[in-house]
Chain A
Amino acid sequence: GAVVSQHPSWVICKSGTSVKIECRSLDFQATTMFWYRQFPKQSLMLMATSNEGSKATYEQGVEKDKFLINHASLTLSTLTVTSAHPEDSSFYICSARDWEWRDTIYFGEGSWLTVV
């Protein structure tokens, strides 16, 4: 099946720094990708929808200047957490839509971010 790769799997950064997470669709073109955040024992929370070649659409309450999303190609979207703080520590997951296969959405492996 389709594969979505996310990197890095784990990242620890100092408070105030920025960290970038990459999401790649490996065997299909993804014009639309999605970024989620999940805190322990809680459900997935959609942060933003990333559209290739255009600005991301952010969900209510998500700071677009803090969570920068770039979707410059049909196979790559990036999420940059800027000026990270400990409360940003979470599990970040991307997903990508395969338009050619009934709009099926596949998830990346997720990235654990710890801000110290």
Chain B
Amino acid sequence: QKEVEQNSGPLSVPEGAIASLNCTYSDRGSQSFFWYRQYSGKSPELIMSIYSNGDKEDGRFTAQLNKASQYVSLLIRDSQPSDSATYLCAVNQGGGADGLTFGKGTHLIIQP
């Protein structure tokens, strides 16, 4: 059974610091990895995708993937109060009709 694990938090980070969110997955065949941000009462919003080992940067966000260790992480630099949300890690094995396997999410709080 495919599993995606995240620390539920809450993870509290002071404003301006780097927030580091981690995720591990069980299926070695996984090919696509996503980070979604979900504000309370809203649907998830895609913020990063990563497909190969290494780092991928987009603005203040950096996604890191290590397939050998089966983990993916998200770094948020210069954290802002507006970054306070639940961050969902999602993994897609690729192909077929399977959807994403989600972690339960990490609740991030940026303290002003």
Query: Which residues on A are within 8 Å of B, measured CB to CB?
Result: 1, 6, 32, 34, 43-44, 46, 49, 51, 57, 91, 93, 95, 97, 102-110
Q: With A104-B49, A105-B92 in contact, is A93–B34 under 8 Å at CB?
A: no
Interface pair A57/B49, CB less than 8 Å apart: no
| CA–CA, A102 and B104, complex, Å | 23
Q: Give the chain B neighbours of A97 by CB distance below 8 A.
A: 99
Which residue of B42, B44, B51, B95 contacts A44 across the interface (Cβ within 8 Å)? B44
Q: Give the chain B neighbours of A93 by CB distance below 8 A.
A: 43-44
The 4 closest A-B pairs by CB, nearest first: A110-B43, A43-B104, A107-B43, A34-B99
B-side interface size class: 20 to 34
Q: Give the chain B neighbours of A46 by CB distance below 8 A.
A: 99
| CA–CA, A97 and B92, complex, Å | 11
Interface pair B49/A107, CB less than 8 Å apart: no
Interface of A is mostly: strand
CB-contacts of B35-94 with A (<8 A): 36, 41-46, 49, 51, 88, 90, 92, 94
CB distance from A13 to the nearest CB of B (A): 19
Interface pair A103/B45, CB less than 8 Å apart: no
Q: With A1-B46, A104-B34 in contact, is A32–B97 under 8 Å at CB?
A: yes
Tell me if B32 is interfacial: C-beta within 8 Å of chain A. Answer: yes
| CA–CA, A97 and B51, complex, Å | 16
Interface pair A43/B102, CB less than 8 Å apart: yes
When C-beta atoms are compared, the residue in chain A nearest to B100 turns out to be A105
When C-beta atoms are compared, the residue in chain A nearest to B8 turns out to be A43
| CA–CA, A57 and B99, complex, Å | 11
30 contacts between A and B (CB under 8 A): A6-B43, A32-B97, A32-B99, A43-B88, A43-B102, A44-B44, A44-B102, A49-B97, A49-B98, A51-B97, A91-B41, A91-B43, A95-B99, A95-B100, A102-B32, A103-B92, A103-B95, A104-B46, A104-B49, A105-B34, A105-B46, A105-B90, A105-B92, A105-B99, A106-B46, A107-B36, A107-B44, A108-B43, A109-B43, A110-B43
| CA–CA, A46 and B2, complex, Å | 14
